[in-house]
Structure 1
Amino acid sequence: MSSPLKKSAEKVQNILRDFGHELQVIELQDSTRTSDEAARTIGCSVSQIAKSLIFKGKASQQPVLVIASGTNRVNEKTIKAYLGEKLEKADADFVLEHTGYVIGGIPPVGHHSLIKTFIDEDLLQYEEIWAAAGTPNAVFKLTPQILIEIVDGTVVPIT
């Protein structure tokens, strides 16, 4: 590595190291804030981007993480069936408070709060996927099986 990682990306790298897998956070020159930007910058398909989306339970006001394939839109009614409550959109302050990260760089791990997590079953078809690593320019490559292990999430159809 030519330069040290930014603080948020370094935090994610340290958390990933604790899982015992060889997962390497990289910071890129171009933005990876959106799935399209990330895929273009990395050189993979948009579907291989594991985007971390934070919602809020309407009744509980608790955070809910949906890790979706980059091309998929989350069907909130589908998630409601698994969660038992409606979802609301979470604003930037809520996301930062519960994850410790800004929108556009939310990793699937290392959040401030324990977050109920759902993983898009469409991600399982790929040998490798890419996830955000704490900043809008940091990512890491992993397998869907490792993702399931490190986030302790429930695999569901999200569309």
Structure 2
Amino acid sequence: MTDPSHPAVDRVAEALARHGLSPEIVWFDDAVTTAPLAAAALGIEVGQIANSLVFTLDDEPILVLTSGAHRVDTEWLGAQLGGVIGRASKDTVKHATGQVIGGVAPVGHPAPVRTIVDTDLAQYPVVWAAAGHAKTVFPTTFDELVRITGGVPRAVEPSLGASA
């Protein structure tokens, strides 16, 4: 059987290819919409999951790629970034990324989204990110995430490091 196809996943694969990457996109039988589910399905540590979380920073979408091992301290991170971080609505997520909550990839968006990449991900030689659909992931590295997203490496909660 060939891998299924989905327009959002195809856009992610195309974006990765534009950056010189062609990782295998893994399709699961069931949705893996949380870091623990994805880690269990892959047999890896939950910290190796690069959660793609869309927030708003002073009403503009911002993508935070965070380790699945912890949560984003939005009040602290907002202060570090000089604004107020809020929860993005599902419509904001879809409009900003072209993808739905649970499957948001770091790339493949209609336009660039300001991105923060959690420095905690750097401790793992391989991290896994969603590939545009809740049943998909792909392997990458911290350095590749920073490069392909144009993201800024930064701690996302105070216990993980000082401001950068």
TM above 0.5 = yes
1:21 corresponds to 2:37: no
Q: Which range moves more in the overlay, 112-121 or 61-70?
A: 112-121
Q: Report Cα offsets for 1:6-49 as digits up to 9, x if no partner.
A: 22212211111111023221211122211111111111111000
After TM superposition, the structure 1 = structure 2 runs for residues 90-109 of structure 1, keeping only pairs within 5 Å, are: 90-109=88-107
SS of the residue corresponding to residue 44 of structure 2 reads: coil
Q: Report Cα offsets for 1:85-108 as digits up to 9, x if no partner.
A: 101101111110111000000001
Could you say which residue in structure 1 is the equivalent of 2:160? none
Q: CA RMSD in A?
A: 1.3
Task: Give the drift of 1:63.
Answer: 0.3
Identical positions, percent: 36
The letter of the residue matching 2:139 is K
Separation (CA, whole Å) in 1 of partners of 2:136 and 2:25: 7
Question: Could you tell me whether the CA contact under 8 Å between 1:12 and 1:107 is conserved in 2?
Answer: yes
TM-score under structure 1 length normalisation: 0.93
Task: List gaps (5 residues or longer) in structure 1.
Answer: none
Structure 1 residue ranges, 4+ long, deviating more than 3 angstroms after superposition: none
Could you say which residue in structure 2 is the equivalent of 1:44? 44
Task: Give the drift of 1:72.
Answer: 1.2
Task: List gaps (5 residues or longer) in structure 2.
Answer: 158-164
TM-score under structure 2 length normalisation: 0.90
